Amino acid sequence: MRIPRKRDYMHIDTVFTQVKKNIWVMLGIFSRKAIKHEGEDPVQKILDVTTPKNNGLKIIQFNRKNIEEPVYFESLEDLLHDISINDLGCKEVTFIFSGNNEFPYDAREQWTDSCNLLDLKEGVVVGYDRNDKTIEAFKNAGFEVVHVKDLLQQFESGDTSPENLKDTFIMMPSAELSRARGGFHCMSMPLLRDDI
């Protein structure tokens, strides 16, 4: 995927991250609804009047076995949905949007790496505590939200263990890290895991 040449989208981690095989956190501007201008906030519609909503985005998926016949997608959401269904064998796909897809929080929280999460194991992610609306969206999707300080105390007291965590958003302090424009996914090294 070629990302639009805008400072907001430094690299792919700032646009989307896979949370589980069937759950993605994504910047709403690349959703189906945004590409079709459905349900747009009136103020945002006025502010975006001079730029096409998809920023000229073309999403093309190439298959090594059949390189001559690529598949085209209207939105990033369509591509990620296709990956979860056809490549990962999921029956349903859920999208969690940056800033709960509410203007102006969507863009503001994307700027502080709301999509740039580190997946410690399927469904257990680390992200910044300052992205309130994105955290609200995770709660709405059934995730438990816990501050890292509280989680470490739970580990030490034996109330829980890393093995028992599932569908959890771990909030990390973000004052300095997010100011430096770095999120957990882009600041980590790849991990080899058995569960993927």
Say if residues 13 and 115 touch (Cβ distance below 8 Å): yes
Can you tell me the distance from the alpha carbon of 133 to that of 138, in angstroms, rounded to the nearest whole number?
9
- Radius of gyration from C-alpha coordinates of the chain: 17
**90 catalytically annotated:** no
* Annotated active-site residue in 3, 85, 90, 186: 186
Picking from 82, 88, 103, 106, the residue whose alpha carbon sits closest to that of residue 14 is: 106
Say if residues 97 and 138 touch (Cβ distance below 8 Å): no
Burial category of 18 from C-beta neighbours within 10 Å (exposed 0-12, middle 13-18, buried 19 and up): buried
Instruction: Give the active site residues.
Output: 186
